[in-house]
Structure 1
Amino acid sequence: MTDLVKDSSDLAFMADVIEASKETPVVVDFWAPWCGPCKQLMPALERQVKAVGGKVKLVKINIDENPGVAGQLGVRSIPAVFAFKDGEPVDGFMGAQPESELSKFIARLSGDVDPKEEAETLVLRARDSLTAGDPGGAAQDFAQALQLDPESGSALAGLARVYLDMGNREMATEMVQNATGALSEHPEVASIRSELALGESAPEPDAPAQDDTELRDAEASVAADETNLNARLVFAKALAARGRRAEAVDHLIYSIGRNRMHDDEAARHFLLTIFEAEGPESEVSIDGRRRLSSILFA
Protein backbone atom coordinates (compact mmCIF):
# COMPACT_ATOMS: atom_id res chain seq x y z
CA MET A 1 0.00 0.00 0.00
CA THR A 2 2.94 2.36 0.51
CA ASP A 3 3.51 2.83 -3.22
CA LEU A 4 -0.04 4.12 -3.66
CA VAL A 5 0.92 7.52 -2.23
CA LYS A 6 4.17 9.29 -3.08
CA ASP A 7 5.80 12.71 -3.29
CA SER A 8 6.90 13.78 -6.74
CA SER A 9 8.43 16.70 -8.64
CA ASP A 10 8.38 18.51 -11.95
CA LEU A 11 11.22 16.35 -13.20
CA ALA A 12 9.53 13.09 -12.21
CA PHE A 13 6.04 14.12 -13.35
CA MET A 14 6.27 12.31 -16.68
CA ALA A 15 7.16 9.01 -15.05
CA ASP A 16 5.08 9.29 -11.85
CA VAL A 17 1.91 10.64 -13.46
CA ILE A 18 1.74 10.52 -17.26
CA GLU A 19 3.29 7.10 -17.78
CA ALA A 20 1.92 5.62 -14.55
CA SER A 21 -1.64 6.71 -15.39
CA LYS A 22 -1.55 4.53 -18.50
CA GLU A 23 -1.73 1.56 -16.15
CA THR A 24 -3.53 2.98 -13.08
CA PRO A 25 -5.42 6.27 -12.67
CA VAL A 26 -3.30 8.85 -10.82
CA VAL A 27 -4.56 11.70 -8.64
CA VAL A 28 -2.19 14.67 -8.37
CA ASP A 29 -2.48 16.90 -5.31
CA PHE A 30 -0.76 20.29 -5.72
CA TRP A 31 -0.07 21.72 -2.26
CA ALA A 32 2.24 23.96 -0.23
CA PRO A 33 3.38 23.90 3.42
CA TRP A 34 1.76 27.28 4.17
CA CYS A 35 -1.67 26.20 2.82
CA GLY A 36 -4.10 25.41 5.64
CA PRO A 37 -6.82 23.78 3.48
CA CYS A 38 -4.11 21.61 1.89
CA LYS A 39 -3.31 20.13 5.29
CA GLN A 40 -6.98 19.24 5.76
CA LEU A 41 -7.47 17.80 2.29
CA MET A 42 -4.32 15.70 1.99
CA PRO A 43 -4.99 13.08 4.73
CA ALA A 44 -8.61 12.69 3.62
CA LEU A 45 -7.51 12.21 0.02
CA GLU A 46 -4.94 9.64 1.11
CA ARG A 47 -7.60 7.69 3.02
CA GLN A 48 -9.89 7.54 0.02
CA VAL A 49 -7.09 6.44 -2.33
CA LYS A 50 -5.99 3.68 0.04
CA ALA A 51 -9.61 2.60 0.54
CA VAL A 52 -9.93 1.43 -3.08
CA GLY A 53 -6.96 -0.92 -2.68
CA GLY A 54 -4.65 -0.05 -5.56
CA LYS A 55 -7.20 0.99 -8.17
CA VAL A 56 -5.99 4.61 -7.92
CA LYS A 57 -2.65 6.18 -6.96
CA LEU A 58 -1.91 9.54 -5.35
CA VAL A 59 1.00 11.83 -6.23
CA LYS A 60 1.72 14.91 -4.10
CA ILE A 61 3.60 17.91 -5.51
CA ASN A 62 4.80 20.85 -3.42
CA ILE A 63 4.36 23.86 -5.73
CA ASP A 64 6.82 25.98 -3.76
CA GLU A 65 9.57 23.60 -4.79
CA ASN A 66 8.02 22.52 -8.11
CA PRO A 67 6.04 25.32 -9.76
CA GLY A 68 6.51 24.17 -13.36
CA VAL A 69 3.76 21.60 -13.98
CA ALA A 70 1.28 23.49 -11.80
CA GLY A 71 1.86 26.57 -13.94
CA GLN A 72 1.38 24.60 -17.15
CA LEU A 73 -1.94 23.28 -15.83
CA GLY A 74 -3.12 26.78 -14.93
CA VAL A 75 -3.15 26.27 -11.18
CA ARG A 76 -3.80 29.66 -9.54
CA SER A 77 -4.92 28.55 -6.11
CA ILE A 78 -4.38 25.51 -3.93
CA PRO A 79 -5.23 22.88 -3.03
CA ALA A 80 -5.67 21.88 -6.64
CA VAL A 81 -6.34 18.26 -7.55
CA PHE A 82 -6.15 16.69 -11.00
CA ALA A 83 -6.97 13.13 -12.02
CA PHE A 84 -5.02 11.53 -14.87
CA LYS A 85 -5.94 8.47 -16.87
CA ASP A 86 -4.21 7.08 -19.95
CA GLY A 87 -1.78 9.98 -19.82
CA GLU A 88 -4.49 12.68 -19.93
CA PRO A 89 -6.23 14.82 -17.28
CA VAL A 90 -9.83 13.59 -16.95
CA ASP A 91 -11.21 15.22 -13.80
CA GLY A 92 -10.29 17.56 -10.98
CA PHE A 93 -11.30 20.22 -8.49
CA MET A 94 -9.98 23.24 -6.62
CA GLY A 95 -10.20 23.85 -2.88
CA ALA A 96 -11.00 21.62 0.05
CA GLN A 97 -13.83 19.11 -0.37
CA PRO A 98 -15.88 17.09 2.14
CA GLU A 99 -14.80 13.47 2.39
CA SER A 100 -18.11 12.32 0.89
CA GLU A 101 -17.25 14.19 -2.32
CA LEU A 102 -13.72 12.82 -2.30
CA SER A 103 -15.16 9.33 -2.08
CA LYS A 104 -17.27 9.95 -5.20
CA PHE A 105 -14.29 11.50 -6.98
CA ILE A 106 -12.11 8.45 -6.33
CA ALA A 107 -14.97 6.06 -7.12
CA ARG A 108 -15.35 7.60 -10.57
CA LEU A 109 -11.69 6.96 -11.27
CA SER A 110 -11.61 3.45 -9.82
CA GLY A 111 -14.72 2.36 -11.69
CA ASP A 112 -16.53 1.46 -8.48
CA VAL A 113 -19.32 3.95 -9.04
CA ASP A 114 -22.70 2.90 -10.44
CA PRO A 115 -23.08 4.85 -13.72
CA LYS A 116 -26.82 5.28 -13.20
CA GLU A 117 -26.35 6.65 -9.70
CA GLU A 118 -23.65 9.01 -10.91
CA ALA A 119 -25.94 10.14 -13.74
CA GLU A 120 -28.71 10.89 -11.24
CA THR A 121 -26.28 12.95 -9.17
CA LEU A 122 -25.24 14.93 -12.25
CA VAL A 123 -28.87 15.56 -13.20
CA LEU A 124 -29.56 16.99 -9.74
CA ARG A 125 -26.47 19.19 -9.99
CA ALA A 126 -27.54 20.35 -13.44
CA ARG A 127 -30.93 21.37 -12.11
CA ASP A 128 -29.24 23.33 -9.34
CA SER A 129 -27.12 25.06 -12.00
CA LEU A 130 -30.26 26.06 -13.89
CA THR A 131 -31.76 27.49 -10.72
CA ALA A 132 -28.53 29.43 -10.17
CA GLY A 133 -28.69 30.84 -13.71
CA ASP A 134 -25.88 28.74 -15.21
CA PRO A 135 -27.32 27.00 -18.30
CA GLY A 136 -23.82 26.24 -19.63
CA GLY A 137 -22.85 24.29 -16.53
CA ALA A 138 -26.24 22.56 -16.56
CA ALA A 139 -25.78 21.51 -20.19
CA GLN A 140 -22.37 19.98 -19.41
CA ASP A 141 -23.75 17.97 -16.50
CA PHE A 142 -26.84 16.82 -18.43
CA ALA A 143 -24.60 15.73 -21.33
CA GLN A 144 -22.22 13.86 -19.03
CA ALA A 145 -25.17 12.18 -17.29
CA LEU A 146 -26.48 11.06 -20.66
CA GLN A 147 -23.09 9.55 -21.52
CA LEU A 148 -23.07 7.62 -18.24
CA ASP A 149 -26.68 6.49 -18.63
CA PRO A 150 -27.98 6.72 -22.22
CA GLU A 151 -31.42 5.64 -20.94
CA SER A 152 -31.77 8.60 -18.56
CA GLY A 153 -34.91 10.41 -19.63
CA SER A 154 -34.23 13.15 -17.10
CA ALA A 155 -30.80 13.86 -18.60
CA LEU A 156 -32.10 13.83 -22.17
CA ALA A 157 -35.06 16.05 -21.34
CA GLY A 158 -32.89 18.38 -19.28
CA LEU A 159 -30.39 18.88 -22.10
CA ALA A 160 -33.18 19.32 -24.65
CA ARG A 161 -34.82 21.95 -22.44
CA VAL A 162 -31.54 23.86 -22.15
CA TYR A 163 -31.32 23.93 -25.95
CA LEU A 164 -34.96 24.99 -26.18
CA ASP A 165 -34.58 27.76 -23.61
CA MET A 166 -31.53 29.03 -25.48
CA GLY A 167 -33.52 29.22 -28.72
CA ASN A 168 -32.08 26.14 -30.41
CA ARG A 169 -35.36 24.41 -31.25
CA GLU A 170 -33.75 22.31 -33.97
CA MET A 171 -31.34 20.59 -31.58
CA ALA A 172 -34.05 20.10 -28.95
CA THR A 173 -36.36 18.61 -31.58
CA GLU A 174 -33.65 16.31 -32.92
CA MET A 175 -32.88 14.98 -29.45
CA VAL A 176 -36.52 14.22 -28.69
CA GLN A 177 -37.20 12.70 -32.10
CA ASN A 178 -34.19 10.39 -31.79
CA ALA A 179 -35.42 9.03 -28.47
CA THR A 180 -36.78 5.50 -28.83
CA GLY A 181 -38.53 2.87 -26.72
CA ALA A 182 -38.98 3.58 -23.02
CA LEU A 183 -36.82 6.71 -23.32
CA SER A 184 -39.30 8.20 -25.77
CA GLU A 185 -42.16 7.61 -23.33
CA HIS A 186 -40.36 9.07 -20.31
CA PRO A 187 -42.64 11.77 -18.79
CA GLU A 188 -40.00 14.50 -18.98
CA VAL A 189 -39.18 13.67 -22.61
CA ALA A 190 -42.89 13.64 -23.42
CA SER A 191 -43.17 17.04 -21.75
CA ILE A 192 -40.46 18.47 -24.01
CA ARG A 193 -42.15 16.94 -27.04
CA SER A 194 -45.41 18.63 -26.08
CA GLU A 195 -43.55 21.88 -25.42
CA LEU A 196 -42.17 21.77 -28.94
CA ALA A 197 -45.58 20.95 -30.38
CA LEU A 198 -47.15 23.93 -28.62
CA GLY A 199 -44.54 26.28 -30.04
CA GLU A 200 -44.77 25.14 -33.66
CA SER A 201 -47.09 27.99 -34.67
CA ALA A 202 -45.44 30.67 -32.57
CA PRO A 203 -44.15 33.69 -34.49
CA GLU A 204 -40.44 34.37 -34.74
CA PRO A 205 -39.17 36.43 -31.78
CA ASP A 206 -38.36 39.39 -34.06
CA ALA A 207 -41.52 39.15 -36.15
CA PRO A 208 -43.41 42.47 -36.39
CA ALA A 209 -46.62 42.64 -34.39
CA GLN A 210 -48.72 43.44 -37.48
CA ASP A 211 -47.80 40.04 -38.97
CA ASP A 212 -49.50 38.19 -36.12
CA THR A 213 -52.83 37.97 -37.91
CA GLU A 214 -53.70 34.40 -36.88
CA LEU A 215 -54.20 35.35 -33.25
CA ARG A 216 -56.25 38.45 -34.03
CA ASP A 217 -58.42 36.69 -36.59
CA ALA A 218 -59.14 33.79 -34.24
CA GLU A 219 -59.95 36.17 -31.39
CA ALA A 220 -62.32 38.10 -33.63
CA SER A 221 -64.09 34.92 -34.72
CA VAL A 222 -64.62 33.85 -31.10
CA ALA A 223 -65.90 37.30 -30.18
CA ALA A 224 -68.35 37.21 -33.09
CA ASP A 225 -69.71 33.77 -32.15
CA GLU A 226 -68.76 32.30 -28.80
CA THR A 227 -70.23 28.93 -29.80
CA ASN A 228 -67.81 28.59 -32.75
CA LEU A 229 -65.72 25.79 -31.27
CA ASN A 230 -63.50 25.47 -34.34
CA ALA A 231 -62.45 29.10 -34.03
CA ARG A 232 -62.02 28.73 -30.28
CA LEU A 233 -59.65 25.78 -30.78
CA VAL A 234 -57.60 27.79 -33.28
CA PHE A 235 -57.53 30.67 -30.80
CA ALA A 236 -56.44 28.35 -27.95
CA LYS A 237 -53.61 26.93 -30.06
CA ALA A 238 -52.44 30.41 -31.02
CA LEU A 239 -52.46 31.48 -27.38
CA ALA A 240 -50.57 28.37 -26.25
CA ALA A 241 -47.95 28.85 -28.98
CA ARG A 242 -47.27 32.30 -27.57
CA GLY A 243 -46.90 31.08 -24.01
CA ARG A 244 -50.35 32.21 -22.87
CA ARG A 245 -51.32 28.73 -21.72
CA ALA A 246 -53.60 29.64 -18.84
CA GLU A 247 -55.78 31.61 -21.29
CA ALA A 248 -55.68 28.72 -23.75
CA VAL A 249 -56.87 26.36 -21.00
CA ASP A 250 -59.83 28.64 -20.29
CA HIS A 251 -61.01 28.40 -23.90
CA LEU A 252 -60.46 24.66 -24.10
CA ILE A 253 -62.37 24.04 -20.87
CA TYR A 254 -65.21 26.14 -22.24
CA SER A 255 -65.24 24.10 -25.48
CA ILE A 256 -65.28 20.78 -23.61
CA GLY A 257 -68.13 22.02 -21.47
CA ARG A 258 -70.12 22.99 -24.55
CA ASN A 259 -69.46 19.83 -26.57
CA ARG A 260 -66.87 17.36 -25.38
CA MET A 261 -67.10 15.21 -28.54
CA HIS A 262 -66.65 18.08 -31.01
CA ASP A 263 -64.08 17.25 -33.69
CA ASP A 264 -63.15 13.91 -32.07
CA GLU A 265 -62.49 15.56 -28.71
CA ALA A 266 -59.88 17.85 -30.23
CA ALA A 267 -60.17 20.36 -27.39
CA ARG A 268 -59.56 17.71 -24.72
CA HIS A 269 -56.60 16.22 -26.60
CA PHE A 270 -54.97 19.62 -26.97
CA LEU A 271 -55.68 20.40 -23.33
CA LEU A 272 -53.79 17.25 -22.31
CA THR A 273 -50.88 18.36 -24.50
CA ILE A 274 -50.72 21.59 -22.51
CA PHE A 275 -50.83 19.69 -19.22
CA GLU A 276 -48.01 17.42 -20.40
CA ALA A 277 -45.87 20.39 -21.46
CA GLU A 278 -46.51 22.22 -18.21
CA GLY A 279 -45.76 19.25 -15.98
CA PRO A 280 -47.81 17.89 -13.06
CA GLU A 281 -46.62 20.51 -10.56
CA SER A 282 -47.67 23.51 -12.66
CA GLU A 283 -50.56 25.63 -11.38
CA VAL A 284 -51.89 25.65 -14.93
CA SER A 285 -52.02 21.85 -14.92
CA ILE A 286 -53.38 21.51 -11.39
CA ASP A 287 -56.17 24.04 -11.88
CA GLY A 288 -56.94 22.83 -15.40
CA ARG A 289 -57.17 19.16 -14.41
CA ARG A 290 -59.47 20.05 -11.52
CA ARG A 291 -61.79 21.99 -13.82
CA LEU A 292 -61.66 19.26 -16.46
CA SER A 293 -62.60 16.61 -13.89
CA SER A 294 -65.56 18.66 -12.73
CA ILE A 295 -66.87 18.62 -16.32
CA LEU A 296 -66.12 15.00 -17.21
CA PHE A 297 -67.44 13.50 -13.98
CA ALA A 298 -70.30 15.87 -13.31
Structure 2
Amino acid sequence: MVKDVDEATFQQEVIERSKEVPVIVDFWAEWCGPCRTLGPAIEQAVKDREGTVELAKVDVDSNQQLAAAFRVQGIPAVKAFVNGEMVDEFTGALPPAQINAFLDRVIPPPEKTPEELAEELNSNEFVVAGREAREELELSENPPTEAFKAWDEGDHEFALDLLQKEVEIAGDDPDRRDLLRKVMVGYFTELGPTSELAATHRRRLATFF
Protein backbone atom coordinates (compact mmCIF):
# COMPACT_ATOMS: atom_id res chain seq x y z
CA MET A 1 0.00 0.00 0.00
CA VAL A 2 1.35 3.44 -1.00
CA LYS A 3 -0.13 6.71 0.28
CA ASP A 4 0.74 10.41 0.34
CA VAL A 5 0.87 11.94 3.81
CA ASP A 6 1.40 15.46 5.09
CA GLU A 7 1.81 17.27 8.39
CA ALA A 8 -1.90 16.92 9.14
CA THR A 9 -2.09 13.17 8.53
CA PHE A 10 1.38 11.99 9.55
CA GLN A 11 0.47 11.19 13.15
CA GLN A 12 -2.44 8.97 12.16
CA GLU A 13 -1.12 7.47 8.92
CA VAL A 14 2.42 6.80 10.09
CA ILE A 15 2.87 6.89 13.87
CA GLU A 16 -0.44 5.27 14.84
CA ARG A 17 -0.57 3.00 11.80
CA SER A 18 2.93 1.66 12.50
CA LYS A 19 1.58 0.13 15.70
CA GLU A 20 -0.32 -2.29 13.47
CA VAL A 21 2.03 -2.71 10.50
CA PRO A 22 5.52 -1.33 9.72
CA VAL A 23 5.37 1.94 7.76
CA ILE A 24 8.18 3.13 5.49
CA VAL A 25 8.30 6.90 4.91
CA ASP A 26 9.90 8.23 1.74
CA PHE A 27 10.80 11.93 2.03
CA TRP A 28 11.12 13.19 -1.54
CA ALA A 29 10.65 16.16 -3.90
CA GLU A 30 9.52 16.50 -7.50
CA TRP A 31 12.79 18.15 -8.62
CA CYS A 32 14.98 15.43 -7.05
CA GLY A 33 16.48 13.08 -9.65
CA PRO A 34 17.55 10.33 -7.20
CA CYS A 35 14.03 10.46 -5.72
CA ARG A 36 12.56 9.55 -9.10
CA THR A 37 14.99 6.63 -9.27
CA LEU A 38 14.27 5.36 -5.77
CA GLY A 39 10.50 5.90 -5.81
CA PRO A 40 9.47 3.14 -8.25
CA ALA A 41 12.00 0.70 -6.76
CA ILE A 42 10.82 1.07 -3.18
CA GLU A 43 7.16 1.07 -4.25
CA GLN A 44 7.71 -2.26 -6.02
CA ALA A 45 9.58 -3.72 -3.05
CA VAL A 46 6.71 -2.77 -0.72
CA LYS A 47 4.13 -4.14 -3.16
CA ASP A 48 6.00 -7.45 -3.34
CA ARG A 49 5.54 -7.87 0.41
CA GLU A 50 1.79 -8.07 0.00
CA GLY A 51 0.55 -5.95 2.87
CA THR A 52 3.20 -6.79 5.47
CA VAL A 53 4.53 -3.23 5.18
CA GLU A 54 3.14 0.10 3.96
CA LEU A 55 4.77 3.06 2.20
CA ALA A 56 4.02 6.70 2.99
CA LYS A 57 5.42 9.46 0.77
CA VAL A 58 6.13 12.95 2.08
CA ASP A 59 6.82 15.87 -0.28
CA VAL A 60 9.44 17.87 1.62
CA ASP A 61 8.68 21.09 -0.26
CA SER A 62 5.10 21.05 1.01
CA ASN A 63 5.95 19.69 4.46
CA GLN A 64 9.12 21.45 5.53
CA GLN A 65 8.28 21.35 9.24
CA LEU A 66 7.80 17.60 9.05
CA ALA A 67 11.11 17.17 7.25
CA ALA A 68 12.83 19.31 9.87
CA ALA A 69 11.23 17.40 12.73
CA PHE A 70 12.77 14.17 11.43
CA ARG A 71 16.10 15.81 10.58
CA VAL A 72 15.91 15.23 6.85
CA GLN A 73 19.13 16.77 5.52
CA GLY A 74 19.23 15.12 2.11
CA ILE A 75 16.73 13.39 -0.13
CA PRO A 76 15.54 10.85 -0.85
CA ALA A 77 15.46 10.04 2.86
CA VAL A 78 13.74 6.83 3.89
CA LYS A 79 12.75 6.12 7.47
CA ALA A 80 11.08 3.03 8.91
CA PHE A 81 8.52 3.22 11.72
CA VAL A 82 7.47 0.31 13.91
CA ASN A 83 5.27 0.55 17.02
CA GLY A 84 5.18 4.32 16.77
CA GLU A 85 8.95 4.82 16.66
CA MET A 86 11.55 5.24 13.95
CA VAL A 87 13.72 2.11 13.92
CA ASP A 88 15.90 2.41 10.81
CA GLU A 89 16.72 4.79 7.96
CA PHE A 90 18.84 5.44 4.90
CA THR A 91 19.53 8.34 2.54
CA GLY A 92 20.04 8.14 -1.21
CA ALA A 93 18.85 5.99 -4.09
CA LEU A 94 19.85 2.48 -3.06
CA PRO A 95 19.77 -0.43 -5.54
CA PRO A 96 16.88 -2.93 -5.22
CA ALA A 97 18.97 -5.52 -3.35
CA GLN A 98 19.79 -3.04 -0.59
CA ILE A 99 16.19 -1.80 -0.46
CA ASN A 100 15.03 -5.37 0.07
CA ALA A 101 17.65 -5.93 2.76
CA PHE A 102 16.42 -2.77 4.52
CA LEU A 103 12.81 -3.96 4.43
CA ASP A 104 13.81 -7.41 5.67
CA ARG A 105 15.37 -5.80 8.75
CA VAL A 106 12.20 -3.86 9.47
CA ILE A 107 9.49 -6.45 8.82
CA PRO A 108 9.18 -9.03 11.59
CA PRO A 109 9.41 -12.62 10.35
CA PRO A 110 6.04 -14.31 9.97
CA GLU A 111 4.97 -16.52 12.84
CA LYS A 112 5.20 -20.18 11.97
CA THR A 113 2.07 -22.29 12.13
CA PRO A 114 1.96 -25.28 14.49
CA GLU A 115 2.19 -27.49 11.40
CA GLU A 116 5.34 -25.71 10.19
CA LEU A 117 6.92 -25.94 13.64
CA ALA A 118 6.14 -29.65 13.81
CA GLU A 119 7.59 -30.24 10.35
CA GLU A 120 10.74 -28.32 11.27
CA LEU A 121 11.13 -30.30 14.48
CA ASN A 122 10.55 -33.63 12.75
CA SER A 123 13.34 -32.87 10.28
CA ASN A 124 15.85 -31.87 12.99
CA GLU A 125 18.85 -34.21 12.83
CA PHE A 126 18.99 -34.69 16.62
CA VAL A 127 15.28 -35.50 16.82
CA VAL A 128 15.57 -37.93 13.92
CA ALA A 129 18.63 -39.61 15.45
CA GLY A 130 16.87 -39.83 18.80
CA ARG A 131 13.81 -41.50 17.31
CA GLU A 132 15.95 -44.00 15.41
CA ALA A 133 17.85 -44.79 18.62
CA ARG A 134 14.56 -45.26 20.46
CA GLU A 135 13.41 -47.77 17.85
CA GLU A 136 16.61 -49.76 18.36
CA LEU A 137 16.21 -49.72 22.12
CA GLU A 138 12.58 -50.82 21.85
CA LEU A 139 13.78 -53.92 20.00
CA SER A 140 16.55 -54.66 22.50
CA GLU A 141 16.41 -57.32 25.20
CA ASN A 142 15.81 -54.77 27.95
CA PRO A 143 13.96 -51.74 26.53
CA PRO A 144 13.38 -48.72 28.82
CA THR A 145 9.64 -49.05 28.25
CA GLU A 146 8.58 -47.12 31.35
CA ALA A 147 10.67 -44.11 30.34
CA PHE A 148 9.28 -44.06 26.81
CA LYS A 149 5.73 -44.42 28.12
CA ALA A 150 6.25 -41.51 30.53
CA TRP A 151 7.58 -39.32 27.72
CA ASP A 152 4.67 -40.15 25.44
CA GLU A 153 2.24 -39.29 28.23
CA GLY A 154 3.88 -35.89 28.78
CA ASP A 155 5.71 -36.68 32.03
CA HIS A 156 8.99 -35.42 30.63
CA GLU A 157 10.82 -34.98 33.94
CA PHE A 158 10.10 -38.55 35.06
CA ALA A 159 11.05 -39.89 31.64
CA LEU A 160 14.41 -38.12 31.66
CA ASP A 161 15.10 -39.24 35.24
CA LEU A 162 14.52 -42.85 34.20
CA LEU A 163 16.68 -42.52 31.11
CA GLN A 164 19.43 -40.92 33.19
CA LYS A 165 19.40 -43.98 35.45
CA GLU A 166 19.53 -46.23 32.39
CA VAL A 167 22.67 -44.41 31.26
CA GLU A 168 24.28 -44.98 34.66
CA ILE A 169 23.39 -48.68 34.62
CA ALA A 170 24.69 -49.14 31.08
CA GLY A 171 28.23 -48.19 32.07
CA ASP A 172 29.79 -51.36 30.62
CA ASP A 173 27.74 -51.27 27.42
CA PRO A 174 28.94 -48.33 25.29
CA ASP A 175 26.56 -49.10 22.42
CA ARG A 176 23.51 -48.99 24.70
CA ARG A 177 24.78 -45.84 26.40
CA ASP A 178 25.18 -44.14 23.03
CA LEU A 179 21.64 -45.06 22.00
CA LEU A 180 20.29 -43.71 25.29
CA ARG A 181 22.30 -40.52 24.79
CA LYS A 182 20.83 -40.01 21.32
CA VAL A 183 17.31 -40.49 22.67
CA MET A 184 17.89 -37.95 25.42
CA VAL A 185 19.50 -35.39 23.10
CA GLY A 186 16.51 -35.76 20.80
CA TYR A 187 14.20 -35.13 23.74
CA PHE A 188 16.27 -32.08 24.78
CA THR A 189 15.80 -30.70 21.27
CA GLU A 190 12.05 -31.25 21.42
CA LEU A 191 11.86 -29.40 24.75
CA GLY A 192 13.57 -26.39 23.17
CA PRO A 193 16.63 -24.24 23.92
CA THR A 194 15.00 -22.38 26.83
CA SER A 195 13.93 -25.48 28.76
CA GLU A 196 15.46 -25.60 32.25
CA LEU A 197 14.60 -29.30 32.46
CA ALA A 198 16.59 -30.00 29.30
CA ALA A 199 19.52 -27.89 30.52
CA THR A 200 19.66 -29.73 33.85
CA HIS A 201 19.64 -33.18 32.29
CA ARG A 202 22.04 -32.13 29.54
CA ARG A 203 24.61 -31.23 32.22
CA ARG A 204 24.01 -34.50 34.05
CA LEU A 205 24.30 -36.50 30.85
CA ALA A 206 27.59 -34.79 29.93
CA THR A 207 29.29 -36.28 33.01
CA PHE A 208 28.98 -39.76 31.49
CA PHE A 209 30.54 -38.96 28.11
SS of 2:81 mapped into structure 1 = strand
1:89 matches 2:54 = no
CA distance in 2, matches of 1:37, 1:24: 27
Q: CA deviation at 1:111?
A: 2.5
Indicate the residue corresponding to 1:102 in structure 2: 99
Structure 1 segment 200-219 matched on structure 2, within 5 A: none
8 Å contact from structure 1 (residues 52, 110) kept in 2: no
Q: Which amino acid in structure 1 is aligned with residue 56 of structure 2?
A: V
Residue deviations 1:251-279, cap 9 Å, x none? xxxxxxxxxxxxxxxxxxxxxxxxxxxxx
Aligned to 2:17: 20
**1:133-179 CA distance string (max 9 Å, x none):** xxxxxxxxxxxxxxxxxxxxxxxxxxxxxxxxxxxxxxxxxxxxxxx
Separation (CA, whole Å) in 2 of partners of 1:73 and 1:6: 19
Partners of 2:109 and 2:16 in 1: CA distance: 23
Q: For residue 36 of structure 2, what is the amino acid of its counterpart? A: K
- Please say if 1:68 is aligned against 2:58: no
Conserved? CA contact 1:17–1:26, under 8 Å:
yes
The one-letter code sitting in structure 1 at the alignment partner of 2:60 is I
How far residue 109 of structure 1 moved from its aligned partner, in angstroms, is 1.7
The percent of aligned pairs where both chains have the same amino acid is 47
Matches within 5 A, 1:162-177: none
Q: CA deviation at 1:32?
A: 0.3
**Could you tell me which residue of structure 2 aligns to residue 6 of structure 1?**
3
* Letter paired with 1:78: I
Identify which of 43, 55, 58 aligns with 1:58.
55
Q: Given that residues 6 and 60 in structure 1 are in contact (C-alpha distance below 8 angstroms), is that contact kept between their aligned partners in structure 2? A: yes
Which amino acid in structure 2 is aligned with residue 23 of structure 1? E
In 2: Cα distance, 1:48 partner to 1:97 partner? 12
Contact 1:56 1:110 in 2 (8 A): yes
**Higher RCO structure (Cα 8 Å, ≥6 apart):** 2
SS at 1:49 equivalent:
helix
CA distance in 2, matches of 1:34, 1:66: 15
**1:107-143 CA-partner distances (Å, limit 9, x unpaired):** 1222349xxxxxxxxxxxxxxxxxxxxxxxxxxxxxx
Structure-2 residue corresponding to 1:290: none
Greater strand percent: which structure? 2
* Richer in helix (by share): 1
What are the ranges of 5 or more consecutive residues in structure 2 without an aligned counterpart? Answer: 111-209
- Alpha-carbon RMSD across the aligned residues, in angstroms, is 1.2
Tell me, yes or no, if structure 1 residue 29 matches structure 2 residue 22.
no
CA distance in 2, matches of 1:45, 1:28: 10
Question: What runs of 5+ residues in structure 1 fail to find an aligned partner?
Answer: 114-298
**Deviation of residue 65 (structure 1)?**
0.7
**Any idea what SS the aligned residue of 1:65 has?**
coil
* Cα offsets for 1:30-81 (capped at 9, x unmatched): 0000000000001000010011111100000001111111101111110000
Output the amino acid matched with 1:81. V
Question: Normalized against structure 2, the TM-score is what?
Answer: 0.51
Normalization by structure 1: what TM-score? 0.36
Q: Give 1:77's aligned amino acid.
A: G
Paired with 1:112 and 1:102, the residues of 2 have a C-alpha distance of 17
Paired with 1:69 and 1:62, the residues of 2 have a C-alpha distance of: 10
**Is the contact between residue 35 and residue 78 of structure 1 (CA under 8 Å) also seen in structure 2?**
yes
The whole-number CA distance in structure 1 between the counterparts of 2:80 and 2:102 is 9
Query: Could you tell me how far apart the structure 1 residues matched to 2:70 and 2:107 are?
Result: 23
